[in-house]
Amino acid sequence: MPMISARELLGPFFNENPDIRVGWPDDEVALEVKGPDALRAELATVLARFRTVWPSMPLFADIKVNTVRQTLYLRLGAARPPMPWPELDALEASARAALEEWVVPLSRCAEQNGGGAHGGGGFVSLELPLPAEVAANARRDFPSLPDEDWDECYRVKLARMSWHSLRDEVYRFCDLATQIARWTAEQGYSSVLIPSVGLCVHPWLFAHHSLSVIATDISPTALDAVAHPERLPRMYGTAAKERWEVSEAAMWFGGRNPHSFEPMPDLERAETAGALRPRIRFVEADGAALPVGDASVDVLFATNALPREDFDLFERVVREWARVVRPGGFVFSAMHNGMQCDLERFSERLGWRPVDALKGEPAGEATGFQQSFSGG
Ligand SMILES: C[S@@+](CC[C@H](N)C(=O)[O-])C[C@H]1O[C@@H](n2cnc3c(N)ncnc32)[C@H](O)[C@@H]1O
């Protein structure tokens, strides 16, 4: 059977539905598909019905490789309409019932190719198996690496980098970074420290708001990559960010309008990165020995930067944060699965007070802090 790329397979369908924003991270992935026309026709039928359940809602789609299931995965979602939760729940329940039924012919078509299709409350998904050789390469993008040697870990990841394998590390929590950057500038603060930055785009988002940034990490390889976004345009470009946004929206299909994402500086252009770079210092440093003076920074913005396993180290890192942030400054920490990393337990001892910067609350005279946890 001839191979067909994801874009050749699904491109005509999306060309006929230009209002749907598509992520297209894995458009070059090649598949073997019996009857691509029939598959597209079934998808079009499901879409027409989908639109009756979610009339006039912005639609978006993500197409990516699922390395665990070894499939190409298409997820088509609708932005949730602005309505009270009970009504939305009822709408989703009825949509789920209808879509489960309507999706059956598409599912049959996908099954003929060894895949499947599902309809849920606000989405439709389609999975097609990857040919063995393609699956093997996709797995290589996500090597399982030991955690101890961070620099080696980043070296391998960057050597095998694809947009799909690193997008989460580059853009994780970047919506929070954007909000906190804007708030930081509004408060009249000027300096920001980002400890254990990894590959995150955050330093550039703060610099974009005219703030002066110090980004640290123990890994020189990660710092070198994030310091030169123009060298990695497939990761740090505006198109890469937009693909990530669409992809996230399609995954969670809630509350985010795919037509109004926060713009990002076009870091793929050497001129843009060059203009912002003088505002950022990238410094190799241990998280418990930051290379700045006491009370010398206004704001500390940290994501997944608190040690999870070792409580003594956690305490040393937080005490280091308290040392470097000036009174009246602000600490923001976001963690995935941060159960052991609760700043609140420490806040009284440190004299910090909670400030809801995400809701625009102004900082006070004492050092403020906010923490955010998310699953996954
Ligand atoms: C879980 S990653 C988080 C990276 C990034 N902030 C994020 O949210 O994706 C932890 C980061 O801490 C760095 N790191 C590990 N041990 C460190 C240490 N002792 N001092 C400073 N950074 C360290 C790693 O290189 C890695 O970039």
**Secondary structure of 185-229 in HEC code, one letter for each residue:** HHCCCCEEEECCCCCCCHHHHHHHCCCEEEEEECCHHHHHHHHCH
Residue 319, CA atoms < 13 Å, CB-side half-sphere? 9
Cα 212 to ligand 1 centroid, rounded to whole Å: 21
Pocket lined around ligand 1, Cβ cut-off 6 Å? 150, 169, 172, 196-198, 200, 217-219, 222, 286-287, 303-305
Ligand 1 pocket mutation pick from 171, 217, 224, 316 by most atoms within 8 angstroms of CB = 217
Contact 31, 8 (CB under 8 A): no
pTM: 0.90
Cα 295 to ligand 1 centroid, rounded to whole Å: 22
For 72, the 3-state DSSP assignment is: strand
Ligand 1 pocket mutation pick from 196, 219, 374 by most atoms within 8 angstroms of CB = 196
Contact 99, 47 (CB under 8 A): no
Could you identify the atom of ligand 1 that is nearest to the CA of residue 151?
Answer: 25
- Cα separation, 76 vs 247, in Å, equals 10
Greatest pairwise CA separation for the chain in angstroms: 69
Cα 225 to ligand 1 centroid, rounded to whole Å: 14
Q: Tens place of pLDDT for every residue, the chain, 376 residues?
A: 789 999 999 999 999 999 999 988 778 889 999 999 999 999 999 999 989 888 888 899 999 888 889 999 999 988 877 788 888 888 888 888 888 899 999 999 999 999 999 998 888 999 999 999 888 888 777 777 766 799 999 999 999 888 888 999 999 999 999 999 999 999 999 999 999 999 999 999 999 999 999 999 999 999 999 999 999 998 999 989 988 888 888 877 666 676 777 889 999 999 999 999 999 999 999 999 999 999 999 999 999 999 988 889 999 999 999 999 999 999 999 999 766 678 888 888 899 999 999 999 998 899 999 999 885 4
Cα 286 to ligand 1 centroid, rounded to whole Å: 9
Structure tokens at 357: 């910067």
Cα 195 to ligand 1 centroid, rounded to whole Å: 8
Cα 60 to ligand 1 centroid, rounded to whole Å: 33
- Cα separation, 247 vs 13, in Å, equals 18
Find, among 220, 221, 222, 236, the residue nearest to 270 by Cα.
236
Cα 197 to ligand 1 centroid, rounded to whole Å: 6
Cα 305 to ligand 1 centroid, rounded to whole Å: 6
Contact 240, 167 (CB under 8 A): yes
Could you identify the atom of ligand 1 that is nearest to the CA of residue 286?
Answer: 20
Contact 373, 338 (CB under 8 A): yes
Ligand 1 pocket mutation pick from 155, 218, 306 by most atoms within 8 angstroms of CB = 218
The residue type found at 90 is A
Nearest protein CA to atom 1 of ligand 1, as residue: 304
Beta strand extents in the chain (DSSP E only): 3-5, 21-22, 30-32, 59-66, 71-78, 116-119, 123-129, 191-194, 212-217, 280-284, 297-303, 325-336, 353-354, 368-374
Find, among 70, 77, 204, 188, the residue nearest to 137 by Cα.
70
